[in-house]
Amino acid sequence: MKTLKDLEEIRKRTLDTINLRKDQSGTRIVVGMATCGIAAGARPVLLAIMEEVEKNDLSDVIVAQTGCIGMCKLEPIVEVYRPGEEKVTYVKMNPSKAKRVVNEHVMQGKVVQDYTIGAEE
Amino acid sequence: MKMYRSHIMICRGTGCTSSSSEQIAQEFEKQLKLHGIDEEVIVERTGCFGLCALGPIVIVYPEAAFYSLVKPEDVEEIVKEHLVKGRVVKRLLYAETIEEDRIKSLNQVNFYKKQVRVALRNCGIINPENIDEYIAFDGYKALARCLTELKPEEVIDIVKRSGLRGRGGAGFPTGLKWEFTAKAQGDMKYVCCNADEGDPGAFMDRSILEGDPHSVLEAMAIAGYAVGGSQGYIYVRAEYPIAVKRLSIAINQAREYGLLGKNILGTGFDFDIELRLGAGAFVCGEETALLASIEGQRGMPRPRPPFPANKGLFGKPTLLNNVETYANICPIINNGPEWFASMGTEKSKGTKVFALGGKINHTGLVEIPMGTTMREIIYEIGGGCPNGKAFKAAQTGGPSGGCIPADKIDVPIDYETLTALGSMMGSGGLIVMDEDNCMVDIAKFFLEFTVDESCGKCTPCREGTKRMLEILDRITKGKGQEGDIERLETLAKNIKASALCALGQTAPNPVLSTLQYFRDEYEAHIRDKKCPAGACQALLQYIIAEDKCKACGICAKQCPVSAISGKPKTPYVIDQGKCIKCGACLEKCPFKAISRG
């Protein structure tokens, strides 16, 4: 038999996984997944981001994909949209860089300047 | 449940399932595996999204991309483009959801914009076969609150203050019904759910049971707590196999979690639910007949009082509510009665689900606040009549209801206004008719239904409706006599006054309301032997205009019964005795020389 506490736990745990079906207000992490992105290794980046989001129980974060944004030589590209803030574009990503972005930017609000497109240029 | 970056929601309601949505779901699973992303993307089978006309529907989150009319062979493209590369497949999107190349949020699309989904809140959003998803969106929170914080009389007070009225048709205040049952004396009380949805064209109860079965189970348990009942029955039609299956799964899951059964949530409250399958008799939707059928008796009504609240199932006090009524209970407990009562009109609170059918572009299921006008429903949400035809009338309330003519289209819809117009809310079937529909024929259709479904127990319904149908039948065949309208009116009055149950008492309504608004059509059938809408075949004639006929002979070749004859250079003629009025000649004539009159 479930208790009230069990019920609350199920609610929270499941909501984390299905919240993306409701209208979104939280952070969106978008990974460029066109041919260029995939060839440059976007998929492991995407998987690393998902893993990190799940590990840290981030219920208000959505991981999405997009097509080519035109700067193929800088792929894999990851964009982070936090509500009320400017979009930040990260370039030449890899799984460990992606994890750092989730930990520092998405969770603590600190942009990882070293990886941004501004730093690259 | 593990984390997935993208959720593919596939409608597995009856409508989309009948157009192969299960194959589509399986194809998605296959293609995801093939492309190696089945660990990132999940396929969920869900309930009705409402826009049945565009089914099968697939919604892909997080983008909320709304794919319509999807075929199994489209699946590979969606997986390759959208899910692997992140490029939405525009050609398959519902056109209204795209604006300047961006996907609009669904609540900005005309079909959904004016809708407020309370009873349908989870339909299309959760997987109805997974209790955890129901719990995630506040499921079983209302039950937990009732059992731990509220006394039974406080629960009843909340339902009373919400102003909720029975959604099965008659509109009796739900809180009052709960109070009567709570106050009735009895060592055992029952809580029943009427899921014997039988009005032609109504399918909201089916969609709720298919898309969100736990919402009904939870509300029944709350009702059990409020009225002091420990056993529930859901009386559902056997011809709703998907609803029956999902309900059985839901009941088992709720029992496993201890949300049904003994000592629910450790509070000492016992409540369990069983299903009873109905064989599809319309009369079993009438409460006393329904209870008789659960008992294993023949489904026939009995006179009231005593009402079921005092003497119902097995002679014990019984609460009986409709599916949609129950589906409103948990949001009322969670959000408060004031929230619910803030929607709707003075005497009709909250929202109502309507099943749009007939001559309308967006056939489907919509939920709107009470007080929305028929114009908003038909034109803004429903997209108007197809092929630019003129709207003529809307039929509400099924075989117990009536027609609302085009000039009353701006009346706000609630229980009172519909009754004042000679129709009724009924369960919420809304059948739209255009200029090609003959109102006498419509009345005849509904009366045929009641004659078929009359249980035969009382004479007014058994004999009276049959006599009315005979008169209507001869009117539509051009054999109507002077005095037929008056005969119909007398019979209608007597049946209404003397039939045993609501089925009989309301059976004449379709005739009375069409007589009220379209009496001239009846007169045209009887006096001029003409059907103004051109729907009654016996009154039609196809005629070839001599001056337009070029004697090409195409019509004669098309005619399936060789009723058309002619020679080169002389106009062709139709032998009216042989003509079966199929209309094939009219469609094919290149010179528009054939007319129907």
Confirm whether B536 is domain-assigned: no
Number of Cα atoms under 13 Å in the Cβ half of residue B52: 26
Claim to verify: residue B191 and residue B277 sit in the same structural domain: yes
B325: domain CATH number is 3.40.50.11540
Confirm whether B60 is domain-assigned: yes
A17-60 pLDDT, tens digit per residue, is 888 787 667 888 999 888 888 889 999 999 999 999 888 888 78
Which residue do the tokens 């255009």 mark?
Answer: B434
Distance between CA B179 and CA B214 in Å, rounded? 24
Confirm whether B113 is domain-assigned: no
Quote the minimal CA–CA distance from B106 to chain A in Å.
9
Distance between CA B326 and CA B178 in Å, rounded? 12
Answer yes or no: are the C-beta atoms of B294 and B300 closer than 8 Å: no
Answer yes or no: are the C-beta atoms of B412 and B404 closer than 8 Å: no
B522-576 pLDDT, tens digit per residue, is 999 999 999 999 889 888 889 999 999 999 999 999 999 999 998 888 899 999 9
Residue extents of the structural domains in chain A: 24-120
Interface of B with A in 93-152 (CB under 8 A): 105, 107, 125-126, 132-133, 135-141, 144, 148
Reduce the secondary structure of B234-288 to three states and give it as a string: EEEECCCHHHHHHHHHHHHHHHHCCCCEEEECCCCEEEEEEEEEECCCHHHHCHH
For residue B565, give the 3-state DSSP assignment: strand
Number of Cα atoms under 13 Å in the Cβ half of residue B335: 15
Confirm whether B563 is domain-assigned: yes
Highest mean pLDDT among A15-24, B396-405, B491-500: B491-500
Answer yes or no: are the C-beta atoms of B447 and B511 closer than 8 Å: yes
Claim to verify: residue B162 and residue B253 sit in the same structural domain: yes
Domain count, chain B: 5
Claim to verify: residue B247 and residue B270 sit in the same structural domain: yes
For residue B392, give the 3-state DSSP assignment: strand
Claim to verify: residue B416 and residue B507 sit in the same structural domain: no
Tell how far CA B518 is from the center of its chain.
25
Claim to verify: residue B184 and residue B257 sit in the same structural domain: yes
B232-273 pLDDT, tens digit per residue, is 999 999 999 999 999 999 999 999 999 999 999 999 999 999
Mutating which of A5, A10, A46, A51 best tests the B interface, going by the most B Cβ atoms within 10 A?
A10
What single DSSP character describes residue B104? P
Q: What is the pLDDT of residue B209?
A: 96
B1, B263, B265 ranked by CB distance to A17: nearest:
B1
Q: Is B575 in the A-facing interface, judged by CB distances under 8 Å?
A: no
B579: domain CATH number is 3.30.70.20
Angle at CA of residue B449, ends B448 and B454, nearest 5°:
100
Confirm whether B111 is domain-assigned: no
Cβ separation of A67 and B86 shorter than 8 Å?
A: yes
Contacts of B144 in chain A (CB under 8 A): 4, 7
Cβ separation of A2 and B126 shorter than 8 Å?
A: no
Q: What is the pLDDT of residue B496?
A: 96
DSSP B139-195: TTHHHHHHHHH--HHHHHHHHHHHT-B-TTTT--BHHHHHHHHHHS--S--EEEEEE
Confirm whether B122 is domain-assigned: no
Quote the minimal CA–CA distance from B265 to chain A in Å.
5
Side chain identity at B134, as an amino acid letter? Y
The H-assigned helical ranges of B318-460 are 323-335, 337-341, 374-375, 415-420, 439-453, 459
Distance between CA B319 and CA A114 in Å, rounded? 67
Reduce the secondary structure of B504-541 to three states and give it as a string: HHHCCHHHHHHHHHHHHHHHHHHHCCCCCCCCCHHHCC
CA distances from B444 to B425, B473, B476 (A): 20, 7, 9
Q: Is B497 in the A-facing interface, judged by CB distances under 8 Å?
A: no
Q: Please state the pTM of the whole predicted model.
A: 0.89
B364: domain CATH number is 3.10.20.600
Tell how far CA B416 is from the center of its chain.
20
Q: What is the pLDDT of residue A24?
A: 65
Contacts of B141 in chain A (CB under 8 A): 7, 11
Q: What is the pLDDT of residue B62?
A: 87
Quote the minimal CA–CA distance from A81 to chain B in Å.
14
Instruction: For residue B59, give its domain range.
Output: 6-106
Q: Is A55 in the B-facing interface, judged by CB distances under 8 Å?
A: no
B425-437 pLDDT, tens digit per residue, is 988 999 999 999 9
Q: Is A56 in the B-facing interface, judged by CB distances under 8 Å?
A: no
Q: What is the mean pLDDT of chain B?
A: 94
Mutating which of A8, A11, A12, A23 best tests the B interface, going by the most B Cβ atoms within 10 A?
A11
Name the least confident of A68-77, B342-351, B491-500: A68-77
CA-based nearest residue to A10, from B561, B136, B228, B361: B136
Distance between CA A79 and CA A82 in Å, rounded? 10
Claim to verify: residue B430 and residue B443 sit in the same structural domain: no
Interface of B with A in 36-55 (CB under 8 A): 40
B315 CB contacts (<8 Å, ≥6 apart)? none
More confident residue, B226 or B64: B226
**Among B415, B434, B453, residue at a domain's last position:** B434
Q: Is A9 in the B-facing interface, judged by CB distances under 8 Å?
A: no
Confirm whether B123 is domain-assigned: no
Q: Please name the fold of domain A24-120.
A: Glutaredoxin (3.40.30)
Quote the minimal CA–CA distance from A72 to chain B in Å.
14
Claim to verify: residue B151 and residue B293 sit in the same structural domain: yes
Claim to verify: residue B185 and residue B329 sit in the same structural domain: yes
Reduce the secondary structure of B427-468 to three states and give it as a string: CCEEEEEECCCCHHHHHHHHHHHHHHHCCCCCHHHHHHHHHH
Tell how far CA B370 is from the center of its chain.
16
Confirm whether B496 is domain-assigned: yes
Quote the minimal CA–CA distance from B506 to chain A in Å.
42
Distance between CA A20 and CA A26 in Å, rounded? 10
**Among B106, B123, B152, residue at a domain's last position:** B106
B71-100 pLDDT, tens digit per residue, is 999 999 999 999 988 888 999 999 888 877
* pLDDT of B68 over the 80 cut: yes
Cβ separation of B3 and A53 shorter than 8 Å?
A: yes
Which residue do the tokens 């003959």 mark?
Answer: B438
Claim to verify: residue B285 and residue B203 sit in the same structural domain: yes
